[in-house]
Structure 1
Amino acid sequence: MKFFEDIRFSEKLAQSNTPVILFSETLKSIREWLAEAYADNMPSAQLVKAYTHLMDELITRAWRYHFPELTDELTIAAVGGYGREELHYGSDIDLLILFERKPQDATREQLEIFIRFLWDIHLEVGHSVRSVRECVREARKDVSVITNLMEARFLDGSAMLFESMMEQTSPVKIWPPEKFFEAKLEEQKARHRRYDDTPYKLEPNIKESPGGLRDLHMILWLSRRLTGAADLKQLVSQNILRLEEYRQLVRSRNFLWKVRNGLHLLVGRSEDRLLFDYQRALAKQLHYRDSEDRLAVEQFMRRYYRTVRQISLLNEILIQSFQEKFDEASKQRLVNINPRFRTRGGYLETTDSEVFSNYPSALLEIFLLWQQHPRIKGIRADTIRELRRNLHRINHLFRRDPVNQHLFLEILRQPAGLTNVYRQMNRYGVLGAFIPAYDRISGQMQHDLFHIYTVDEHTMFVVRNLRRLNLAKYRHEFPLASELMAEVI
């Protein structure tokens, strides 16, 4: 991996009349190294960091070749995924070039030559050239711009200019935490709607679908802007993220990174859609093998779906935690429901942290209460955590307990909210714990083009449609089926 550590590269560059060829060949060697390291099963986090740092060296050397004497007047910085040090084989290289004073024509021309040079050596480069003032102006208008700048990473040039830009776009100056939080939350909701609000489709997008890498980035963006945390680990020391949650996120991130790099290598370019035709090849690439009851590709996709469900859930918990910090006034609006539960600001919570351990039936009761009180918005973050920490209490004795069987049937009998509550029971792991057969279909897909969702997601649609038969306003659609449904219920 010693592409730049000895003097040979510098000597070759000094003697070369065709630097494009030298840089192109070096880039090709770097990409070949990445493919070999991936095939040798180098850990994802190590591979992504190493590749990013090699690109840093390549781009910095290209920059210094084109601007040997302007390092105090210009700054080059990495932004986006490159700024986060998360480059994959087919990732775009996003660059920000900063200037203090408006560049002279000769400098602008040299900047154009530099960008063309990067394209000529076969780098996919996105770039912007701005003054610090322009960065601030654009960032005020667009939350995606401030997000990009927030992740900026200095590469070369004037460090003072870079620090000035970071200081003038800090939360103290623009986009205060609550405003940033609201804008990013709306952005995430819109993105989720584009993917039908489900991570369980046949051909998910590793980056953009619910539970994908963007949901993980969302946690990082909010944490950085709201708490100053530079990475996930700092959230643990700030008591925002539990240690086990941190470990789950890292494992999930590393798996998605491995899948994404593998997908890029498979198709030879940037591609984030986990298309049907790629899934079988990726399963083989990741060493999955057919078993008696599951194809290799089904095992691979099951792990994918369970991974994104984990990210999606932790994304929800962290967002809820941040929301609660902003809703100071709502902390006083307590409404007791029974000795075990109350609402705070419209969200369900336990009256103390031992409710689920002292009264395990509350693991089902909480969902029945959610149905019976339509104004409840959801469950508070710490209560979700307590619920998940007590899932082990749902065992064979719990399932056979008449009280719990009655609670589950009462959930089925409620006149409204069944589909939503069933989805949340599945999301939090309660449904699979109470019905082990359901856990076995969770994240299970059938590798054909007919079934466009996982088996558990299809089951949710069946529950929704059966529920529809029992509602008076829909009985005219299928009268006989509605009549039979009424008899069953």
Structure 2
Amino acid sequence: MDKKNTDILIKKREILIGQFLSGDEPEFLEKHSSILDEYFFTVFEKSITARKMTMAKNPFAIIALGGYGRKEQCIHSDIDLLILFEKIVPPEVEAFLQELLYPLWDARFEVGYAVRNVSECIEMGFERFDILTTILDARFICGASLVYTGFMEKFRSDLSGKRLKHTLNYLYEHGEKRHFDFGDSTYLIAPDLKSGFGGLRDYHTLLWYAKIKSGIKTRRDLEYYGFLSHFEYSSLTESLTDIWKIRNFLHSITKRKCDTLYFEYQTELAGLLGYHSKNLQPDVERFLGDLHKRLDFLKQINQITYEDIFGTTRVKKGTTGFHLTKIDGLVIKKRRLNFANTVAVLQKPDLLLKIFLESGLRKIPLSIEARRIVSEFLHLVDSKIKKDPDCIRIFKKIMSQSYWEFNVLNVM
């Protein structure tokens, strides 16, 4: 085992982390992932055992999974790997794992791995949700690229057939269970930045859904393939950047993987992230307020994603999912509330309020288009609307509701 490779990795990480914590490295997640890639490529390239397995017609690929696969590697996040063979897994792989992983474990890195062949991996992927999502995030690092591409082509082929509806149901049900288990991060004093409702897993769910449905490759494709508007994609990027920054600083001060923003860390984090009051003390309230806005945005995006999944798996072919409401100018399309058209909004600006009340009463979210229209026509809510008795009553009704699945006031 060559300790030199690990020493180089540790040194590069220390420099990169230092640059990030001082505010000089905006591309930290991707560069952190690339440093790890370099380590695995170097070990593979120098390994005599790897060369022998390839010469014995047992080529394999080293594949990044999870956050590492997405190039979203935080400071103390686990490093998840798949060592993938086409058919036969030779016994020599144990010697290679010692070369590849033992130095990392000795250096206190948290590394998880699996060694499988293609058919075994695909079979397990459709049986276990955690394996399914890691395959969706899989990224080739080094080794036999044909093994990786063949594996992904077979997986996509199986997924696009009769397994598609089952897989989407799988995604929906596990997300619902996660929200029940971890709670709503937008209301918790100590929010879970990863698994709670409004946490990073809600963004991951959107990404997985888009990969399952359209085979997108990168986060940017969410806009290119029409899952998000340009405005929504920009807002998503801003939210993720802030949450990842908080998560990395949390990892740094706790010196371990930590996704729950416990009370005892909030004051220190607020100060480190530049939140200061007039007397130069950490402004925890403003820090948490900004964080909850970001979490709430992810929460709303997740709600829209779940409605998309619901419509894809449960609306019968040939049905439009179009319904009129009792309010003239509002319609329901594919289980989302929308304006009939922009002319209706211009003629009746109070629809900009009524749509939120209707959303709460029916327990269905606004469509992406409706949210965009509200943002663009907000100037219509002038002093006349604000003083109108009927509009005041509508707003009071909105504030009085407490049983909605999401906080409509935050959406407003």
Q: TM-score, normalised by structure 1?
A: 0.75
Rounded to whole Å, the distance in 2 between the matches of 1:241 and 1:188 is 20
The AA in structure 1 aligned to 2:20 is Y
- Per the alignment, residue 259 of structure 1 pairs with 246
Give the stretch that moved more between structures: 349-358 or 282-291: 349-358
Rounded to whole Å, the distance in 2 between the matches of 1:260 and 1:126 is 21
Question: Does structure 2 retain, via aligned residues, the 8 Å contact 1:320–1:380?
Answer: no
Rounded to whole Å, the distance in 1 between the matches of 2:382 and 2:70 is 43
Rounded to whole Å, the distance in 2 between the matches of 1:423 and 1:162 is 41
- Per the alignment, residue 351 of structure 2 pairs with 362
- Per the alignment, residue 48 of structure 1 pairs with 29
Q: Please state how far the C-alpha of 1:377 moved relative to its aligned partner.
A: 4.4
Question: Does structure 1 retain, via aligned residues, the 8 Å contact 2:250–2:269?
Answer: yes
Q: 2:222 aligns to what SS in structure 1?
A: helix
Unaligned runs of 5+ in 2: none
Question: Does structure 1 retain, via aligned residues, the 8 Å contact 2:126–2:132?
Answer: yes
CA 1:399/1:131 → structure 2, altered by over 3 Å: closer, same or farther?
same
Rounded to whole Å, the distance in 2 between the matches of 1:301 and 1:175 is 45
Give the stretch that moved more between structures: 77-86 or 317-326: 317-326
Rounded to whole Å, the distance in 1 between the matches of 2:280 and 2:96 is 61
Q: 2:217 aligns to what SS in structure 1?
A: coil
Question: Does structure 2 retain, via aligned residues, the 8 Å contact 1:216–1:311?
Answer: yes
After superposition, residues 101-180 of structure 1 pair within 5 angstroms as: 101-112=87-98, 114-170=100-156, 172-173=158-159, 176-180=163-167
- Per the alignment, residue 190 of structure 2 pairs with 203
1:291-349 alpha-carbon deviations (Å, 9 max, x no partner) = 37995122211111111111211222343345445535441553452431234465543
- Per the alignment, residue 59 of structure 2 pairs with 73
- Per the alignment, residue 340 of structure 2 pairs with 351
The AA in structure 2 aligned to 1:48 is L
CA 1:355/1:119 → structure 2, altered by over 3 Å: closer, same or farther?
same
Q: Please state how far the C-alpha of 1:281 moved relative to its aligned partner.
A: 1.1
Q: TM-score, normalised by structure 2?
A: 0.88
The AA in structure 2 aligned to 1:29 is K
CA 1:144/1:103 → structure 2, altered by over 3 Å: closer, same or farther?
closer
- Per the alignment, residue 337 of structure 1 pairs with 326
- Per the alignment, residue 402 of structure 2 pairs with 419
CA 1:294/1:426 → structure 2, altered by over 3 Å: closer, same or farther?
farther
The AA in structure 2 aligned to 1:280 is T
The AA in structure 1 aligned to 2:411 is Y
CA 1:329/1:97 → structure 2, altered by over 3 Å: closer, same or farther?
same
- Per the alignment, residue 199 of structure 2 pairs with 212
CA 1:83/1:175 → structure 2, altered by over 3 Å: closer, same or farther?
farther
Q: Please state how far the C-alpha of 1:269 moved relative to its aligned partner.
A: 1.7
Question: Does structure 1 retain, via aligned residues, the 8 Å contact 2:6–2:103?
Answer: no
Rounded to whole Å, the distance in 2 between the matches of 1:284 and 1:408 is 37
The AA in structure 1 aligned to 2:329 is R
Unaligned runs of 5+ in 1: 1-17, 430-489
Q: Does 1:237 align with 2:224?
A: yes
- Per the alignment, residue 265 of structure 2 pairs with 278
- Per the alignment, residue 39 of structure 2 pairs with 58
The AA in structure 2 aligned to 1:274 is L
- Per the alignment, residue 448 of structure 1 pairs with none
Q: Please state how far the C-alpha of 1:84 moved relative to its aligned partner.
A: 0.4
- Per the alignment, residue 8 of structure 1 pairs with none
CA 1:277/1:320 → structure 2, altered by over 3 Å: closer, same or farther?
same
Specify the structure having the higher radius of gyration (Cα).
1
Rounded to whole Å, the distance in 2 between the matches of 1:84 and 1:197 is 25
CA RMSD in angstroms comes to 2.7
- Per the alignment, residue 275 of structure 2 pairs with 288
Rounded to whole Å, the distance in 2 between the matches of 1:230 and 1:95 is 19
Q: Please state how far the C-alpha of 1:128 moved relative to its aligned partner.
A: 0.3
Q: Does 1:428 align with 2:411?
A: yes
Rounded to whole Å, the distance in 2 between the matches of 1:422 and 1:24 is 48
Question: Does structure 2 retain, via aligned residues, the 8 Å contact 1:90–1:270?
Answer: yes
Q: 2:239 aligns to what SS in structure 1?
A: helix
CA 1:346/1:241 → structure 2, altered by over 3 Å: closer, same or farther?
closer
Rounded to whole Å, the distance in 1 between the matches of 2:164 and 2:151 is 18
Q: 1:342 aligns to what SS in structure 2?
A: strand
Question: Does structure 2 retain, via aligned residues, the 8 Å contact 1:353–1:386?
Answer: yes
Rounded to whole Å, the distance in 1 between the matches of 2:281 and 2:381 is 27
Matched length:
404
- Per the alignment, residue 182 of structure 1 pairs with 169
The AA in structure 1 aligned to 2:24 is M
Question: Does structure 2 retain, via aligned residues, the 8 Å contact 1:202–1:276?
Answer: yes
- Per the alignment, residue 2 of structure 2 pairs with 19
Question: Does structure 1 retain, via aligned residues, the 8 Å contact 2:322–2:333?
Answer: yes
1:235-294 alpha-carbon deviations (Å, 9 max, x no partner) = 322333111111000111111111111111111121111111111111111122113799
CA 1:132/1:367 → structure 2, altered by over 3 Å: closer, same or farther?
same
Q: Percent sequence identity over matched residues? A: 25
Q: Does 1:29 align with 2:11?
A: yes
Rounded to whole Å, the distance in 2 between the matches of 1:246 and 1:371 is 25
Rounded to whole Å, the distance in 1 between the matches of 2:156 and 2:330 is 40
After superposition, residues 361-400 of structure 1 pair within 5 angstroms as: 361-369=350-358, 377-400=364-387
